């Protein structure tokens, strides 16, 4: 592809994305295809001769778009949002065009230094404790995902708890990780990868009303393990659990971790973004106890996947846990100790220039623009919850401090599941579900960049109308 061909094709691709975003709201949010639909439509082999980009764009329209779940759709209310935005896409495009590797400071100095500064900016925006700044012992880094952040935190915690054995000879005793019964699945996955096994994870009871971790139960679990000769290594607390956005009580949890010398990692994957709004920053109270913290700008801060912001209070410990130095990576800058080599802060060696999309986003929106996005989601979700509460066929099942509302039909699990299947079956909205204390629960998460009040209104009217049909069709309870 010569430069002029690239320029033309590049403009065509940007036009294609622009048109996609402009017409997105008219598409079904998701598809009802059986598995294998796309496989059956694709040729068996790649083309023997090259083809123009226009041919690929035509196939995107024909073969890909009709068979996607459209996460940027204004009526996408499933899971948590996975935001993207114009500036994020453009920043990513620049990163792709530069194609640099930022594994060491010396392999691309600006890639490292921009990332360090942006993570300090973000720490300021979220009001994170001073010790996470790069100006002290700590610092931030971009991981691909919150799952990776939890894994890296687990490895550093094991390094600390085993006094270096995890790194040298491997674990000599049974080490334990703790989270609530509502903790994310990535915590168990990290424990398996780190060698603790699923049984190494203690799941601690939650308060039945708030769904937040019960500190007394955490203390009891740690004491029982200590009495049995096991080593408590890490507690993962959550700000905004995946199921219902419960906020674990960090001040109490932090005090327990400090008392027993256990690493505290705080997973705020979704809800961390809310802390850019001062009125929502109460959710981070107690964070000064944390050894590490992460949130996903790729969920709610208008930055495309993948972008997880991860901070540690003591970067030296993390680097010590993960560094391996073969001859071919030796360089004078690293040897001076004056530079950050982010390869030692993550699992892979190589790393792309993810800071660019974050830089484009922070500069385009500014702090106020990002706050406006978060506030609009919180307000729309609050309005939706009011309507659910005002209809006595429904109930709201958990507090909703952010932009997720959990609710169900009072008639029970069967009716609630049928309601979800029917509204999603229309293709006009996408909601997902969870179980809260064993009961089937619908989740409506606001946060897609194009979502406006009318989309949330429409979702409510569709739910209310469909509930009437579902309740009429279901056999009356005996």
Ligand X SMILES: *Cc1c(COP(=O)(O)O)cnc(C)c1O
- List contacts with ligand X (CB under 6 A): 80, 145-147, 184, 186, 238, 241-242, 267, 269-270, 296, 308
Q: Which is nearer to ligand X, 95 or 145 (CB)?
A: 145
Q: Which is nearer to ligand X, 186 or 334 (CB)?
A: 186
Q: Which is nearer to ligand X, 146 or 403 (CB)?
A: 146
Q: Which is nearer to ligand X, 133 or 184 (CB)?
A: 184
Give 80's contacts (C-beta < 8 A, 6+ positions apart). Answer: 242, 269, 270, 299, 300, 404, 445, 447
Q: Is 261 left (phi over 0), alpha (psi -120 to 50) or beta?
A: left
Q: Which is nearer to ligand X, 174 or 192 (CB)?
A: 192
Residue 173 φ/ψ, nearest 5 degrees: -135, -175
Report DSSP letters for 135-166, one per residue: TTT-EEEEES-HHHHHHHHHHHHHHHHTTTHH
CB of 311 to ligand X, least distance (A): 15
CB of 83 to ligand X, least distance (A): 13
Q: Which helix (H) or strand (E) holds 336?
A: helix 332-336
CB of 270 to ligand X, least distance (A): 4
Q: Which is nearer to ligand X, 80 or 178 (CB)?
A: 80
CB of 337 to ligand X, least distance (A): 31
CB of 239 to ligand X, least distance (A): 8
Give 367's contacts (C-beta < 8 A, 6+ positions apart). Answer: 125, 276
Cα–Cα distance measured from residue 273 to residue 126, given in angstroms and rounded to the nearest whole number: 8
Do the bridges between strand 439-445 and strand 432-436 make them parallel or antiparallel, or are there none, so unpaired? antiparallel
CB of 150 to ligand X, least distance (A): 7
User: What is the side-by-side strand order in the sheet with 292-295?
Assistant: 139-143, 308-312, 292-295, 263-267, 231-238, 175-180, 201-204
Cα–Cα distance measured from residue 324 to residue 103, given in angstroms and rounded to the nearest whole number: 13
């Amino acid at each position: 592809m010569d430069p002029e061909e690239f320029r033309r094709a590049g403009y065509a691709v940007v036009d294609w994305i622009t048109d996609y975003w402009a017409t997105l709201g008219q598409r079904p949010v998701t598809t009802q295809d059986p598995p294998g639909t796309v496989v059956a439509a694709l040729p068996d082999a790649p083309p023997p001769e090259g083809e123009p980009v226009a041919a690929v764009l035509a196939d995107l329209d024909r073969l890909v778009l009709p068979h996607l779940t459209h996460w940027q759709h204004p009526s996408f209310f499933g899971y948590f949002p996975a935001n993207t935005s114009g500036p994020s896409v453009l920043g990513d495009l620049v990163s792709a065009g530069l194609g640099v590797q930022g594994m060491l400071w010396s392999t691309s100095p600006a890639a490292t230094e921009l990332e360090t500064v942006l993570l300090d900016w973000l720490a300021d925006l979220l009001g994170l404790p001073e010790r996470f700044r790069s100006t002290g012992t700590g610092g931030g880094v971009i991981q691909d995902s919150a799952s990776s952040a939890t894994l890296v935190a687990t490895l550093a915690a094991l390094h600390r708890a085993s006094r270096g054995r995890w790194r040298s000879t491997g674990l000599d005793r049974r080490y334990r990780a703790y989270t609530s019964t509502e903790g994310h699945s990535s915590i168990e996955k990290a424990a398996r990868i780190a060698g603790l096994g699923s049984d190494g994870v203690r799941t601690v009871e939650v308060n039945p009303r708030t769904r937040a971790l019960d500190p007394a139960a955490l203390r009891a679990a740690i004491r029982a393990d200590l009495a049995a000769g096991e080593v408590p290594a890490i507690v993962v607390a959550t700000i905004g659990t995946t199921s219902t956005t419960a906020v674990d009580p960090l001040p109490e949890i932090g005090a327990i971790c400090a008392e027993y010398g256990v690493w505290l990692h705080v997973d705020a994957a979704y809800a961390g973004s809310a802390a850019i709004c001062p009125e929502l920053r109460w959710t981070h109270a107690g964070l000064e106890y944390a050894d590490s913290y992460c949130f996903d700008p790729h969920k709610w801060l208008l930055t495309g996947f993948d972008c997880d912001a991860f901070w540690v209070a003591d970067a030296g410990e993390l680097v010590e846990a993960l560094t391996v130095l073969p001859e071919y990576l030796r360089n004078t800058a690293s040897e001076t100790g004056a530079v950050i080599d982010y390869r030692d802060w993550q699992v892979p060696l190589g790393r792309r220039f993810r800071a660019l999309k974050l830089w484009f986003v922070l500069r385009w929106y500014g702090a106020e623009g990002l706050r406006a996005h978060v506030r609009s989601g919180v307000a729309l979700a609050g309005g939706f919850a009011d309507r659910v509460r005002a209809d006595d066929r429904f109930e709201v099942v958990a507090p909703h401090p952010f932009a997720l509302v959990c609710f169900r039909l009072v008639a029970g699990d069967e009716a609630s599941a049928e309601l979800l299947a029917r509204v999603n079956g229309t293709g006009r909205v996408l909601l997902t579900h969870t179980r809260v204390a064993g009961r089937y629960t619908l989740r409506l998460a606001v946060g897609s960049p194009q979502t406006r009040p009318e989309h949330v209104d429409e979702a409510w009217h569709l739910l209310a109308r469909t509930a009437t049909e579902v309740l009429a069709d279901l056999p009356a309870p005996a």
